[in-house]
A = this chain, B = another copy of it.
Amino acid sequence: METLILHEDPCSGNCYKIRLTAALLGLPLERRFYDITKGETRTPQFLREVNANGRIPVLQVGERFLPESNAACWYLADGTALIPEDRFDRADMLRWMFFEQYNHEPNVATLRFWLSLIGEANLTEAQRGQIAGKRAAGEAALALMDQHLAQRGWFAGEGPSLADIALYAYTHVSEAGGFRLADYSAVQAWLARVAALPGYVAMD
């Protein structure tokens, strides 16, 4: 495989997903650091050379650049046991990865970023007005995960897949956004299973 370089901010769960996927697969990954709170992913050079969308993570594969955390995880895991072989299970894994980006990340990750990294006092009025809605939507996402995991060990297929990695990243630090993991016992047991996987690395 070509040289893999992760353009990242270590405080980002989206970046951590890629690092965790590479670690579980034993793939070497170089790292380049940016501070998103200082606008380092919005510079003209970053927009021109790394990602015109001004966001991290970006996985660099040789001379090519792949934004979007879950797409980068797919690239690393393509052809491995982290993507189910069964056609339905493979699509079902993607179902939970799209759920993660649509229902989970904008609520669970955003409240962690706002409340723990920026600080509530520094939020804009528009941001403060969204806290209650994001709290309810984040709790609904965690409850749906808990309901699903009450009946099975992993999100899709018979073993750990990219769906588990994608959902683990922001769930395991969700208390920094004011969520109470004690309310979701099946989620808690699943978090422990993920953390026990061979090759697991912790978030920085």
Contacts and interface: CB of A to CB of B under 8 A. Distances in A.
Interface of A: 52-53, 61, 64, 66-72, 74-75, 78-79, 87-88, 90-92, 94-95, 97-99, 101-103, 105-106, 126, 129-130, 133, 144, 147-148
A17 B67 CA distance: 23
A42 to B, nearest CB: 12
A70 B88 contact: no
B66 A95 contact: yes
Contacts of A101: 98, 101-102
Given A74-B91, A78-B90, A126-B133, A99 B53 contact: yes
A44 to B, nearest CB: 14
A64 to B, nearest CB: 6
A72 B53 contact: no
Contacts of A103: 53
A38 B130 CA distance: 25
Contact of A70 (B90, B94, B147, B148): B94
The majority secondary structure among interface residues of chain A is: helix
A117 B63 CA distance: 44
Nearest to A70: B98
Given A94-B70, A94-B71, A98-B71, A64 B52 contact: no
Contacts of A97: 71, 98
A88 B102 contact: no
Nearest to A103: B53
A95 B71 CA distance: 5
Nearest to A125: B129
A120 B47 CA distance: 35
A147 B97 CA distance: 27
A91 B106 contact: no
A74 B70 CA distance: 15
